[in-house]
A and B are shown apart, each in its own frame.
Chain A
Amino acid sequence: MTQPNLLVELKHVQQVYGGGERRFIAVKDVNLIIHEGEFVALLGPSGCGKSTLLRIITGLQRPAEGRVLYRGEPLKGVNPKAAIVFQTFALFPWLTVFENVDLALKVRGVPEKIRSAKTLDLIDRVGLDGFETAYPRELSGGMRQKVGFARAMAVEPELLCLDEPFSALDPLSAEALRGELLELWTGGAIPTRAILMVSHNIDEAVFMADRIVVMDKDPGRIVATLEIGLPHPRDRKSPQFQAMVDQVYSILAGQTQPEAVELGTAPGEPGFTRGLPHIYINDLAGLLEHLDGLPGGRTDVYRLVDDLGIDSDHLLRLTEAAELLGFARIEKGDMILTDLGETFAEARILARKEIFATRVRRVPLFRWLIALLQASEKQRLKWQVVKTALELEFPPEETERQLDTLVDWGRYAEILVYDDDEETFYLESAYLGASQPQP
């Protein structure tokens, strides 16, 4: 607390919603320190609570438990020394570029003369001179985000927070903007003392940050902290850089565990109920086919992002599904196709469905639902009934998504039928009355 260059300190911060039996932990026991002069990236898959953490740090949200200190003082509300650059820009569409930036100064009571000179200077600095009278809708995504940056810098924040600022941009403008931000930051051209960036893009975090705080979900928590220690500007092709990216992927993709651990337990049983990763089976098939085409059926996980043209978040979900179903395993940041995965990749559509069905029946969530259906009267269940049961395991929104994925996978495997008109689940005839699905 006495360290002079300590800016932000989180102590045992916990975010919880719901209550009683349906209490879910969004962020679990987070301890985090941000020093002056640091560029910290919060990295993790969607749903790991990294955006929640950013909102807690800026005072937009109050944590359910734990303490948030700013320069040693507990935060009493929205932090006046912080500014945020938002993923969706959050510009006022009815204000011009000038008015959007100017507003931030106006509400702080800066006199008009000083204000407009400063606003114009900021617009110049982000390279938007000439566009002062344009409305945001007339600008490209990259230019809109520049307005977002200019507005954030107008209030001269000590702590600049970036909430996935590049993820809504096309790759080219995102890359250009990253470079420009780094230039302003490393060149000391802005009075900002520290930058906190939330991102799900591994490459971006390694490219920009001094330190990466890796988070994981279920529950949202910090799993690792990595010092990058590479000088700017960083070369993405350098072996050190690639090793770093590889390392982050190995942390996030994890190691494939023994099957019992991978599968988890069914709802209602003690232990961790494994949710289904939200993916389409066709995407999974695409990934497996790609792996099958590679020598040895293996590759670095991080390479797949470029090869398949998907973002890391999507890739991690696909990886999780492939592991869960036993089609691939992860070892030290490499993805390896299993024999079963190879068979699946080379099979025709009907054979694929059969393989998929046998694997899916081992997933506890499916075992649970099939048993539930077989035990129920007329072997039918209302959507609402299944939802209520699952809500003991997952938060409400996640429950909806789990059910959607259950229906999608169940339909593909031809195990489940879901009648949308009646909002009812029932089993395909092959599974009716059978005392137990075959192993």
Chain B
Amino acid sequence: MDRLMRLFNSERKQAQAFTWGDLIVVFAIVTVLYMGVRLAWDAPPVVRAKEISLAPAALPWYTALSVGRMTAAYILSMLFTLIYGRLAAYHRRAEQVLMPLLDVLQSVPILSFLPVVLLGLSALLPEGLAAELASIVLIFTSQVWNLTFAWYQSLTTIPKELREASAVFRLNAWFRFKTMELPFAAISLVWNSMMSWAGGWFFLMAAEIFTVGQRDFRLPGLGAYLHEAANQENVTAIAWGIGALVVTVVLLDQLVWRPLMAWTERFKVDMVESDTPSASWFFNLLHNSRISRWFSETVFGPLMDRLDRHMGRAVPSDLVFRNGAAGRKWLDRTVLLAGLGALAYGVFQAVLLLITVPIGEWMQVAVGVGATLLRVAVALLLALAWTIPVGVAIGTTPRLANVLQPVVQVTASIPATAVFPVFVLILIGLPGGLNLAAVLLMLMGTQWYLLFNIIAGARAIPQDLKYTARLIHLKGWERWRTLILPALFPYLVTGMITASGGAWNASIVAEHITFGGQTLAAVGIGALIARATAEGNYPLLLAATLSMILAVILINRFFWHRLYQLAEERFRME
């Protein structure tokens, strides 16, 4: 439970105030989207997906494909992280551009990019490859930001004296990376990798089952299997699919993440022995086995020594004073100007395209953003309504936590997008159709962030305060008002920021569903994006995607940022 709690308590997601850097970032997004839309013009009008087999025997293969996509995206994310984070941490000028960029990208609803990316790539590449690549790019964009942020934060928080020691004792870049930077970041990188994988599943499922109009971008994999099973209303297949998904998630957790966490225990920086170190049976098994000992002594050890000796000589020492060369500055400025020029051109072209959008469609965009915003708000309120009482109950009564732990753990580990098709089966009969059902679909993707944050918050209420509350006979509403709600507030805000991000993302797949040959659509920006994709209305696609991104950025900056500050300054218990 603690692990899941931390997994969902994304502490690093903070809302920042609006800066000039944001404007440049928004322009960059506009330019990139414009390029995607430009490409999409040449996208094939009809895309046929491969047949998806519902035989349980096909599942291992589909699972392997899905995990493969995740792994590819993850490797890409790590490479990106190591380079980008380093640049941002060690070059002040780069930092001023890279960090705001990272911050905005982190809060942008990534799924809104999916249609543009898919269509753009399918114009360039064979359909199958385009879909594969699009899914990997999409998962990459969902995994990478928090990893990069974690790496950057670790690099910038390495104690000054440790850094000085590494300089005085003449560690070159390689040794610094190996003995200082990587170990220092290890725990945070593993944690964030787990978060990235949990988030990645959500997007993988969505990327595997994206279908609009005549274009069917389904990829063979677990997500597509579930979609097809729901399509055919094949309950057995649905059960098989969900089973396979749960088993995969649990296995990865037991065989990869837990051992990694147990291993990174050694990289704890605080000088006190911890009371409850992370444990893993698989890690212990490996650690104590003869094969692994043999491996580390005869293969890994000597290899590492060789590498050290080589890198010790090959990587030059950088311990001399640097002189700011005038030529460098000139080069920097040229690059900067060229970049700004390209941005200006991109934005100009995008604006030209946007002017062609008729006023009526702009109205639809406005209504769509409003409707989705309303839906996000309702989904959040509904989630709060059940998670606050349940979370506080679990957080304050350990016995309840023990009983509910396995249930919650398994339920929370299933990505909401995977069960969308199944839920549509159930919800479609409700009055209000998809307009209402979409709210419930969003709710599924967001409630866990809230629940786990609330549990953590309830657990963190100091025992002294609880005793005091009892001593002065605080009861009922008074107790909630003076003790529980203020103590929960920072956790609630963190949870809500993440949850609302998830809800916006979910809107793309929740508001527009192709199901059993018919298309269901709600009023909303997500549905509008999907419709524009289906109809090949590219100006509208650009307008809708941009509007959604802008809306989310503005809401983050002007609403969540204030709440977050309030929570940090007034309600944080230290």
Binding site for B on A (CB under 8 A): 55, 58-60, 62, 76-78, 80, 82-84, 86-95, 103-104, 106-109, 112, 135-138, 144, 151, 155, 421
Q: Which of B169, B175, B268, B308 contacts A93 (CB 8 A)?
A: B268
Contact of A62 with B321 at beta-carbon distance under 8 Å, contacts A82-B168, A90-B159 already known = yes
A325 → chain B closest CB, angstroms: 31
The answer to whether A84 and B183 touch across the interface, beta carbons within 8 angstroms, is no
Q: Can you offer 22 A-B residue contacts whose CB atoms are under 8 A?
A: A62-B321, A76-B320, A77-B319, A78-B168, A78-B319, A80-B170, A83-B168, A83-B169, A86-B165, A90-B165, A91-B165, A92-B179, A93-B267, A94-B266, A95-B179, A103-B175, A106-B308, A107-B312, A109-B312, A109-B313, A138-B273, A421-B570
Chain B residues with CB under 8 Å of A62's CB are 321
Name the CB-closest residue of A to B274.
Answer: A137
B7 → chain A closest CB, angstroms: 24
Q: How many A-B residue pairs have CB under 8 A?
A: 81
Known: A86-B164, A91-B165. 10 other contacts (CB 8 A): A60-B167, A90-B161, A92-B179, A92-B180, A93-B271, A107-B171, A107-B312, A109-B313, A137-B271, A421-B570
The answer to whether A136 and B271 touch across the interface, beta carbons within 8 angstroms, is yes
The answer to whether A108 and B267 touch across the interface, beta carbons within 8 angstroms, is no
The answer to whether A103 and B169 touch across the interface, beta carbons within 8 angstroms, is yes
- Interface: B16 (CB within 8 A): no
Interface SS of chain B: helix
Interface SS of chain A: loop
- Interface: B359 (CB within 8 A): no
The answer to whether A84 and B313 touch across the interface, beta carbons within 8 angstroms, is no
- Interface: B363 (CB within 8 A): no
Chain B residues with CB under 8 Å of A144's CB are 271
Q: Which of A83, A92, A138, A155 contacts B162 (CB 8 A)?
A: A92
Name the CB-closest residue of B to A84.
Answer: B168
A392 to B424 CA separation, bound complex (whole angstroms):
64
Name the CB-closest residue of A to B305.
Answer: A112
The answer to whether A137 and B321 touch across the interface, beta carbons within 8 angstroms, is no
Chain A residues with CB under 8 Å of B169's CB are 83, 103-104, 107, 151, 155
Name the CB-closest residue of B to A92.
Answer: B179
Chain A residues with CB under 8 Å of B313's CB are 109
User: Which residues in window 473-517 of B have CB below 8 A to A?
Assistant: none
How many B residues have CB within 8 A of the partner chain? 32
Name the CB-closest residue of B to A62.
Answer: B321
Chain B residues with CB under 8 Å of A107's CB are 169-172, 175, 312
The answer to whether B168 and A60 touch across the interface, beta carbons within 8 angstroms, is yes
User: Which residues in window 320-344 of B have CB below 8 A to A?
Assistant: 320-321
B243 → chain A closest CB, angstroms: 40
Q: Which of A60, A109, A112 contacts B164 (CB 8 A)?
A: A60
User: Which residues in window 170-196 of B have CB below 8 A to A?
Assistant: 170-172, 175, 179-180, 183
The answer to whether B172 and A92 touch across the interface, beta carbons within 8 angstroms, is no
The answer to whether B321 and A86 touch across the interface, beta carbons within 8 angstroms, is no
Chain A residues with CB under 8 Å of B267's CB are 93-94
- Encoded as 1 (CB less than 8 Å from any A CB) or 0, chain B from 443 to 457 comes to 000000000000000
Name the CB-closest residue of A to B318.
Answer: A77
- Interface: B272 (CB within 8 A): yes
The answer to whether B320 and A87 touch across the interface, beta carbons within 8 angstroms, is no
Contact of A88 with B159 at beta-carbon distance under 8 Å, contacts A83-B169, A104-B169 already known = yes
A94 to B265 CA separation, bound complex (whole angstroms):
9
Name the CB-closest residue of A to B273.
Answer: A137
Chain B residues with CB under 8 Å of A60's CB are 164, 167-168
- Interface: B124 (CB within 8 A): no
B177 → chain A closest CB, angstroms: 12
Q: Which of A77, A108, A151 contacts B321 (CB 8 A)?
A: A77
The answer to whether A92 and B170 touch across the interface, beta carbons within 8 angstroms, is no
A106 → chain B closest CB, angstroms: 7
The answer to whether A55 and B321 touch across the interface, beta carbons within 8 angstroms, is no
B332 → chain A closest CB, angstroms: 21
A257 to B266 CA separation, bound complex (whole angstroms):
56
The answer to whether A106 and B312 touch across the interface, beta carbons within 8 angstroms, is yes
